[in-house]
Structure 1
Amino acid sequence: MSQTILYARVSTTDQNLEHQKSQAVAAGFHLDEVIADHGVSGVNTKLAERPEGKRLYDKLRRGDVLVVRWVDRLGRNYQDVTDAIRDFMRRGVVIRTVINNMTFDGATTDPMQEAVRDALIAFMAATAQAQAEATKEAQKAGIEASKGDPRKYRGRKPSYNRETLERVQAMLAEEASISAIARVTGLSRQAVLRIKDDPVKVETAMAKWAA
């Protein structure tokens, strides 16, 4: 019998396992099990090398569904994330995201559909790594700013939170129009364009204002 497993990675004190679980349930997922790694870097530690990440490789079987809030929970290293997703797909596992309910599987044999799927996976994995790199740079800048006035360092506070940003990024990956994204998220077209045109700068600003 197939099973649906939520994998959560809680790497910092401002992240919450229950929040990731409740989001999945609210999105309509019926979870058979929740597997979570705590205090583990998504940049430096591969999924297969994490204590609970290893369990995914042991437990998941053909027909199972792996649920993640977003691909950055699998990791923030482009190569590791893309390798992991492709490995699971080869095993016959379906990967689904809570945000925008995206689905990745190895069922299609049509080369065009495969190309679109792989491009989406690559975009999402690259975005996850960009987020990590931007956060690291913001932290470095924060150390320097602590010597003076932090307000000068932070700049203008973003008009959106992390969840809204991830939704915009997901819709951009699906090639939704700027107007449609603005309408769905409640952001201005200018804000959406800034996210599209300079994602690293956006991530840096988000990291600076993270509470």
Structure 2
Amino acid sequence: MSNVVGYARVSTREQSPEAQEAELRAAGAVRVFVDHGESSRIADRPQWKACGDYLRPGDTLVIRALDRIAGTEQMAIELIRDLGRRGVRLRSLTEPFLDVDTSTPMGEAIVGIMAVLAQLRVATIRENTRRGLAHARAQGRVGGRPSVMTPERTAAAVRLRQDGHSIQHIATVLGVGKSSVARALARNEDDLNAVQ
């Protein structure tokens, strides 16, 4: 006999899962597993594992929203596929497109479309970030921490290097790391080559 099984999760111990539990029971859940203070990015949540052990082929897992079980799109897709392979139907109360039988060809196609959309979203974010960084560099802005190698320190490093001192000695004199000195000298060399 198939069951409707609920899973609820709250991110902090202070939050109450009662509203989620009530919604899941109203949707027909005969048993509700609840994780308190657990991140959705962690797959090893105690009650999530217990829920997985409890589910049987033909059961329906009902959740309030996909973010209750998965913290990333990739994790969500893997969980949906796994449930489908096990013959468990997934139903979200707030996302009607998730009320599909993922063990059928149509359900698997929907999961495939979700995977493509998730990859597209990641690629779009990556491309937008790359464009934003390129634009910032073109405006003379560089991300990250400010370099410890100020123009004065760089000029001193160049002079010391021309006098034959090692990068380690220069770093000690300037009170900075060797890698900072090496990068500053390399940038200075590139700038000189660009001018010539």
TM range (shorter): 0.5 to 0.7
Shift of 1:6: 0.7
Q: Deviations over 1:7-47 (max 9, x none)?
A: 01111367431111222345xx111101011101112x11x
Question: Larger radius of gyration, structure 1 or 2?
Answer: 2
Q: 1:33 maps to which residue?
A: 31
Instruction: Report the AA paired with residue 90 of structure 1.
Output: R
Partner of 1:72: 67
Aligned counterpart, 2:142: none
Contact kept? 2:91, 2:100, Cα under 8 Å: yes
Q: 2:105 aligns with which of 97, 105, 109?
A: 109
Identity among equivalent positions (%) equals 36
Aligned counterpart in structure 2 of residue 87 of structure 1, from 82, 90, 104: 82
TM-score, with structure 2 as normaliser:
0.53
- Paired letter, 1:63: G
Change (3 A) 1:15 1:119: farther
Aligned to 1:140: none
* Structure 2 counterpart SS, 1:99: coil
Taking structure 1 as reference, are residues 4 and 121 closer, same or farther at Cα in structure 2, changes over 3 Å only? farther
Pairing 1:42–2:40 present: yes
Q: Deviations over 1:61-104 (max 9, x none)?
A: 11000011010000212332221111111000000001144313
Q: How far is 1:126 from its partner?
A: 9.5
Aligned counterparts, 1:1-211, within 5 A:
1-12=1-12, 15-26=15-26, 29-43=27-41, 45-46=42-43, 49-101=44-96, 102-110=98-106, 114-120=108-114
Q: Show structure 1 runs of 4+ deviating over 3 A.
A: 120-127
Higher RCO (C-alpha 8 Å, min separation 6): 1
Gaps of 5+ in 1: 128-211
Residue identity matched to 1:39: G
CA RMSD of aligned residues (A): 2.7
Q: Residue 105 and residue 126 in structure 1: after superposition, are their counterparts in 2 closer, same or farther (change >3 A)? A: farther
One-letter amino acid matched to 2:11 = S
Read off the aligned partner of 1:34 and give its amino acid letter: V
* Paired letter, 2:108: E
Could you tell me how far apart the structure 2 residues matched to 1:34 and 1:63 are? 17
Deviates more, 1:5-14 or 1:92-101: 5-14
Give the partner amino acid of 2:34: A
Contact 2:40 2:69 in 1 (8 A): yes
1:52 partner SS? helix
Cα distance in 2 for residues equivalent to 1:98 and 1:34: 14
- What is the aligned residue count? 120
TM-score with structure 1 length normalisation?
0.49
Contact 1:89 1:104 in 2 (8 A): no
